[in-house]
C-alpha cells in the first residue's frame, strides 16, 4: 500500500513539475520579415529568448496567401531577432512538395533538374534548384540546352535583385513565370517549377546559422 502511495506521489510531482515548466515559458509571437508584410507565423514557446534565435519555423505558402494553389510549397523561416514577445524572422528555405514532384513523373516523360548558386546585389548567396518535366522523352542535348537557358537567366536576375526582391519574386511565381517561355522556346514542357531555394549567406555576409551573439 505504501509503495502505491509513493508511486502516486511521484507521478503527481512529475506532473506538477511539467506544468510548472510550461507555466514559466515565454510565448513568442512570430512574424514573417517586413519584406513579406510581417504576417503571423503563430506562436512558439521558449524558456530563454536567447536560445530561440536561429529556431526554424515552417509553414506552407498557402498559410500566408490563403490560396489553395499554394499548398504544395513549404517555407522555412529562422528567428533572427526578439523584442519583448515579438520574434522577427528571415526567409531561409522554399521547397516544392516531394509528393507533388513524384506525381508528375511518368515513364514517357523526362525530368530535368538544375542546381544554380546565385549571388545577389546585396551580397546574399542562395542556391536554386529547378524542376522541369517534359510531356515526352527529351534528348540529352535538349536537357543541356534547358539547363543552360535557366542558368543564364537566373544569373542575369541575380545582378538585378536584392535578397528581399528575390524572395518576393520567388513566392509570387514571377521567377518561375519568367523562365517558362524561355524554356518552351527550346522544347515543349508540361511543368516548370522552382523545386527548392536555400539561403547560403544573408546580405552583409551574415551566416544562415543564426545564433545569439
CATH no. for residue 182? 3.30.479.30
In this predicted structure, what is the pLDDT of residue 49? 80
In this predicted structure, what is the pLDDT of residue 26? 85
73 and 26 co-located in one domain: yes
Nearest alpha-carbon partner for 150 in 90, 95, 97, 193: 193
Across the chain, what does the average pLDDT equal?
89
Residue 4 pLDDT class (50, 70, 90 cuts): low
Residue 134 pLDDT class (50, 70, 90 cuts): very high
- DSSP state at residue 204: G
Lowest-pLDDT choice from 7-11, 82-86, 173-177: 7-11
Report the C-alpha gap between 179 and 151 in whole angstroms.
10
68 and 84 co-located in one domain: yes
Pick the last residue of a domain from 76, 96, 116: 96
**188 is a domain residue:** yes
Structural domain for 35, as ranges: 2-96
81 and 36 co-located in one domain: yes
| Sequence-distant contacts of 112-118: CB under 8 A, at least 24 apart | 112/138, 112/143, 112/146, 112/147, 113/195, 114/146, 114/147, 114/150, 114/151, 116/150, 116/151, 116/154, 116/155, 117/200, 118/154, 118/155, 118/157, 118/158
Residue 212 pLDDT class (50, 70, 90 cuts): very low
135 and 73 co-located in one domain: no
**209 is a domain residue:** no
Q: Of all residues in the chain, what percent carry a pLDDT higher than 90?
A: 76
Using CA atoms, how far residue 179 sits from 70, 142, 147, 183, in Å, is: 19, 15, 11, 6
126 and 167 co-located in one domain: yes
109 and 185 co-located in one domain: yes
Pick the last residue of a domain from 96, 117, 151: 96
Q: Which range in 13-27, 98-112, 156-170 is most confidently predicted, on average pLDDT? A: 156-170
Lowest-pLDDT choice from 6-15, 143-152, 159-168, 197-206: 6-15
Pick the last residue of a domain from 39, 63, 96: 96
Amino acid at each position: 500500500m505504501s509503495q502505491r502511495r509513493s508511486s502516486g506521489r511521484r507521478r503527481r510531482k512529475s506532473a506538477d513539475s511539467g506544468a510548472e515548466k510550461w507555466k514559466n515559458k515565454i510565448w513568442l509571437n512570430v512574424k514573417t520579415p517586413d519584406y513579406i508584410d510581417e504576417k503571423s507565423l503563430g506562436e512558439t514557446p521558449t524558456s530563454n529568448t536567447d536560445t530561440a534565435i536561429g529556431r526554424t519555423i515552417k509553414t506552407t505558402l498557402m498559410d500566408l496567401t490563403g490560396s489553395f494553389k499554394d499548398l504544395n510549397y513549404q517555407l522555412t523561416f529562422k528567428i533572427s531577432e526578439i523584442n519583448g514577445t515579438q520574434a522577427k524572422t528571415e526567409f531561409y528555405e522554399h521547397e516544392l512538395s516531394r509528393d507533388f514532384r513524384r506525381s508528375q513523373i511518368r515513364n514517357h516523360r523526362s525530368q530535368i533538374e538544375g542546381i544554380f548558386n546565385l549571388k545577389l546585389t546585396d551580397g546574399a548567396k542562395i542556391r536554386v534548384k529547378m524542376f522541369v518535366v517534359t510531356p515526352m522523352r527529351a534528348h540529352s542535348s535538349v536537357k543541356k540546352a534547358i539547363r543552360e537557358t535557366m542558368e543564364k537567366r537566373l544569373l542575369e536576375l541575380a545582378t538585378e535583385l536584392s535578397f528581399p526582391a528575390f524572395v518576393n519574386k520567388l513566392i509570387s511565381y514571377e521567377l518561375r513565370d519568367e523562365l517558362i517561355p524561355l524554356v518552351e522556346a527550346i522544347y515543349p514542357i508540361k511543368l516548370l517549377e522552382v523545386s527548392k531555394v536555400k539561403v547560403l549567406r544573408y546580405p552583409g555576409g551574415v551566416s544562415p546559422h543564426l545564433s545569439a551573439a
